[in-house]
C-alpha cells in the first residue's frame, strides 16, 4: 500500500475525528461549531483551519446565521464528504487485511 490509497485530507487525526463525528449524524443534519468544538476538543482557531481545508475540498459545508454575538455557525458533511469517508474506511480495511 502507498500513501495514495488513503485520502490525505482525511488521514490526519484531527480531520478524521471531524469527519467521523459529522458522519454520525443522519444525512442532511448539521452540527453547531461550538458542539463540534466540544466533541473534538480543539481550540476555535485550530478547528477553523481544519474545517477550511475540508470545506475547500467540498467534504463539508458550513452556514453562518445571525450577526455579532448572536451569530451561529453550523457544519455538515456533504454527500461528497460521506463518499470520501466511505472510500477512506474501505481503503483502511484493505490496508489492514479486512480487519
Rule CB under 8 A: which residues touch other proteins?
A: 1-3, 6, 8, 11-13, 16-17, 20-21, 23-26, 28-32, 34-36, 39, 74, 76, 89, 92-93, 95-97, 99
Phi and psi torsions of 41, nearest 5°: 75, 45
Which contiguous run of DSSP H or E holds residue 64?
strand 60-65
Helix (H, G, I), strand (E, B) or coil at 8: coil
CB of residue 54 to other proteins, shortest distance in Å: 13
Q: Shortest Cβ distance from residue 94 to other proteins (Å)?
A: 10
Question: Least distance to other proteins from the beta carbon of 67, Å?
Answer: 18
Measured from the CB atom, the residue of 17 and 67 that comes closer to other proteins is 17
Residue 86 C-alpha cell reads as 466511505
Q: Which grid coordinates belong to 59? A: 467534504
Give the three-class secondary structure for 74: strand
Amino acid at each position: 500500500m502507498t500513501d495514495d490509497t488513503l485520502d490525505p485530507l482525511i488521514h490526519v487525526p484531527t480531520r478524521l475525528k471531524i469527519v467521523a463525528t459529522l458522519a454520525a449524524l443522519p444525512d442532511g443534519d448539521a452540527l453547531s461549531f461550538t458542539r463540534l468544538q466540544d466533541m473534538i476538543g480543539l481550540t476555535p482557531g485550530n478547528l477553523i483551519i481544519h474545517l477550511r481545508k475540508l470545506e475547500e475540498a467540498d467534504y463539508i459545508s458550513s452556514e453562518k446565521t445571525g450577526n455579532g454575538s448572536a451569530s451561529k455557525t453550523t457544519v455538515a458533511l456533504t454527500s461528497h464528504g460521506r463518499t470520501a469517508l466511505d472510500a477512506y474506511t474501505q481503503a483502511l480495511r484493505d490496508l489492514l487485511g479486512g480487519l
